[in-house]
Every structure is written in C-alpha cells, then in structure tokens.
Amino acid sequence: MGNKAFSFCSPAAPRTNYGGGGAGMDRWTGVLHVPLSRGGPPFRVAASLVLSPAKTLAVPCANAILFTGDRVRGSGEPAIDRLSDAAYLARLLAGKLTGEANAWVVDAACLAGSFAVYRELVPSVNAMGDPKRYDPTGFPAAAGITNILAHCIREIQTMIKSAMKGSAGNQDPAASLLSYCPPKTVILGFSKGGVVVNQLVTELACLDSESAKISVDVSRSSPPVLTCNLLVPVSATEFLSSVSEFHYVDVGLNRAGAYITDHAVIKEIANYVIRNSMNIRFVLHGTPRQWSDPNRSWIQMEKDIMLQLLQDEAQRCEGRLLLSEKRYFDGKPRSLLMHFEILEVMDIG
C-alpha cells in the first residue's frame, strides 16, 4: 500500500490548540497511501481518529472528510506550505469538530502538473481535473471513498494491533453494538476539491432511483470485521445515506462547474430529505479570492444560483434542508494566502 506513517497522540500534539474535537481524547494520527485498484495511483490520506480507552479505534459520532485542491509550489509563504500539508490539515480539522469525530483529509491521486485530478471519483473530469459534467451512474465517488476508508481502517487496525503487541482489537464488538449509532458523514471540499462535493451531491440526488437499479457494495472486498464496519460505511448507498453536511470551502475552477446550478439536482435533494425525514446542511464558505475575482465572475454567479436554488427548495422541507453562506476576509485585497487561510478560520459548527 505504499509508504505509511503513524503515531499515537493526544489533542495537545498540534502546535496550536484549535478547540473542540473532544478535549482529552487520545487520537491515532497518520498518513497512508491507498490505491483504489491494483497498480493504480494512490490517494494520500491523512487521518486523525478517536481512540477508545483501550487504545483501539473508537466508534465515532461522525467522519469528516476534506478533499484538497491543486498543489501550490514555491509560494514562499510558510502559511501556504503548512496549509497544503494533509497531515496538518487532519489535525486542524479534528480540532474544529465537536464530539468524538474522526477527521480525514484526501489528496487527489493524480496531478497534471500542479492541477488536482480526481478522475477515480469524478470520471467525467478532463486532463486538467475540470468536470465536463457530473454523472451519478454507478455512484463512483461514494463507492471510491467507501473503498478508501475501508482500506485505511484495515491498515490502521493492523498497525495498532502490531504496536500494541496483539493486545489491540480484543474488545468485545457486541459491547459497541449496545449503544451503536451509525456515524454521520460530513463532506468538505476545498478549492478544486469541490468537484468531489458536487459529484456526491449529484449521486445523493439519485440515491433512491439509482440504488434500486444497481448495488454498489465494497463490503465484499473488506474483511468481515465487525469493528471495521462500525467505524465507516461499507457500501456506496450506505455512505450516501450517512451524509449530513456538505461544505464548499472557497471552491473555484478555471471554467464553469464549481457549484451545482442544476435545479433538477437540488430539487431531488429536497425530495430525498422529505421522503426520508432527514436533515441535510449545506454551507458555502468563501473569500474575495474566489467570490470577487473579476476574471472568473462565473464563480460568484454559480454560487449565487446554487444558494437561491437551495433557499427555494428549503421552503418545502419543513426546516430539514439547512443552508448558510459564510464570508471570510471581506474588505481585504484578494490573495492566495487568504484562499488557504480560510482553512484555519472557517467555522464548520
């Protein structure tokens, strides 16, 4: 599975205390490289996962997954370098979460120069990683992410067991089931990573109809370890059903497609919320870097369209479709630095 790095740490390990994240909880932190197919390009995945008192992986209340954007090299700005590091972002995200939640940060498996290309999750992207469209057929993003998480959990459990000399993993799975509640999933896309968010929104909009025609289940490729199945969803449909929040974090592209502007997709999200009596939250976070770029005016236009579509559909959802727009660094000159610093200052609560 490529190179691995891991450590046991407490929340005090990050250089800055960001608050939240369940003060006093021990965590497993590390980086893994996980291909989706044999010989395929590996995703670099950083994780900060809650540990039980026995130092095994604890069942989280939520899994928050952040997809990163294009690479920035040679900026000369230490803050940009720091906020481009997946391991740092995993610790940062963990500090922003409430309760016993796991933080995952996923870098694109492929790069075209500095451009992130999420082709394994969004098959319609072009050579530069920009989407031609969002096609939900087969739930490629949900299936791929489920596979990535399953591989990571399997490797981490093996490493923990080895580090604990075989004592880890001995807790009774039935004990976990007594108070088990399936973890929610919080999706965040930063910059180019927003294309994965859009793909997942499109897949969720088709969940009821598409899942009736196909069954995309990765559980067959995962070992029948009950504790693994408690930690993360085991199928594409289960993954999509677990999503409770979508966060767009200063997303933007060099062409159209940064936000969902298809009314039919947003309408089906509202229908899904109503049919299943579920709450889903959309949060659009942005800075002048993206929302006030005169050379890419379509970004703000798409954002405004999506926000209006969500507002219109929310009116018939009896408070179950929640949305908000959060602006950062208003009034300041546009800069690449603010684009990255939103990761530190964003409020996901």
* Domains of the chain listed by start with CATH number: 5-345 (3.40.50)
Do the beta carbons of residue 150 and residue 234 sit within 8 Å? yes
- Cα 36 to chain centroid, rounded: 17
Distance CA 263, CA 269 (A): 10
Provide Rg for the chain, Cα atoms: 19
pLDDT in tens, 163-176: 887 554 444 444 45
Read off the pLDDT band of 18 (50, 70, 90): very low
User: ∠ at Cα 311 (308, 316), nearest 5°?
Assistant: 140
φ, ψ of residue 325 to 5 degrees: the values are: -120, 125
Nearest to 196 by CA among 296, 66, 344: 66
Q: Report, as an integer, the average pLDDT of 114-129.
A: 96
Report, as an integer, the average pLDDT of 135-162.
95
pLDDT digits over 76-94, tens only? 899 999 999 999 999 999 9
* C-beta separation of 297 from 262 below 8 A: no
pLDDT for the residue numbered 9: 42
The dihedral of CA 226, 247, 31, 164: what is its sign? negative
pLDDT surpasses 50 at 250: yes
Torsion, Cα of 275, 281, 282, 287 (10° steps): 180
Residues 236, 242, 244, CA angle at the centre, nearest 5°?
130
Q: What pLDDT is attached to residue 73?
A: 80
Closest CA to 101 of 25, 194, 196: 25
Structure confidence by residue, pLDDT tens digits, 163-212: 887 554 444 444 455 556 889 999 999 999 999 999 999 999 999 876 54
pLDDT over threshold 50, residue 74: yes
The residue-averaged pLDDT of 250-277 equals 97
pLDDT: is 316 or 38 the higher one?
A: 316
* pLDDT band, very low/low/confident/very high, at 44 (cuts 50, 70, 90): very high
pTM above threshold 0.85: yes
Per-residue tokens: 50? 């809650």
Are the C-beta atoms of residues 342 and 250 closer than 8 Å to each other?
yes
- Residue 21 confidence class, pLDDT cut points 50, 70, 90: very low
Q: What is the mean pLDDT of residues 111-117?
A: 95
E strands in 150-205: 184-190
